[in-house]
Structure 1
């Protein structure tokens, strides 16, 4: 099981962390794109796994409106899950 620890919410966020992090819809889309590419999937392949069109995956990756269900399923298919932490917190993930 992975453990997520909040190190110190007062410290500046380190954008060089290896976790995917998003504060906006656009950043979430970029994170999905990076996760998809790391997994070696094309947009059409991810779309088929999620049960949507390739255009929907494209919209998600551009930060445009798609359902929360679609975004969560896309992340899951790419091997990620969403975890909520206080904004700008530094986190470590153990148990990889």
Structure 2
């Protein structure tokens, strides 16, 4: 199972971009599915300010879920 880690907004944006690309979506495709503009997707992927709801929904639409864990923790992910 593919895991991504993000500590900064830029890293989070990069994770969204990788997830979108792995799903075979263009920015415009993801924007349409979320009901937002392509520029908002672009801003998110650059680590710019977007709502938390938009950020979480973007990852979800690309087949990922967001998990918050304590810093320096080890996490094991098992497939379902």
- SS of the counterpart of 2:48? coil
Unaligned runs of 5+ in 2: none
CA RMSD across the alignment: 1.4
Distance in 2, Cα, partners of 1:59 & 1:33 = 11
CA radius of gyration, larger in:
1
Shift of 1:54: 0.3
- Residue in 2 aligned with 1:90? 74
- SS of the counterpart of 1:91? coil
- Number of aligned residues: 80
- Residue 20 of structure 2 is aligned to residue 36 of structure 1: yes
Shift of 1:20: 1.0
Distance in 2, Cα, partners of 1:40 & 1:21 = 21
- Residue in 1 aligned with 2:61? 77
Shift of 1:87: 1.1
Shift of 1:92: 1.4
Which structure is richer in relative contact order (CA contacts within 8 A, separation 6 or more)?
Answer: 1
Distance in 2, Cα, partners of 1:26 & 1:68 = 14
Distance in 2, Cα, partners of 1:64 & 1:86 = 24
- Larger strand proportion of the pair: 1
Q: After superposition, what is the alpha-carbon deviation per residue over 1:16-59, rounded to whole angstroms, capped at 9, x for unaligned?
A: x9401110100000000000000000000000001100000000
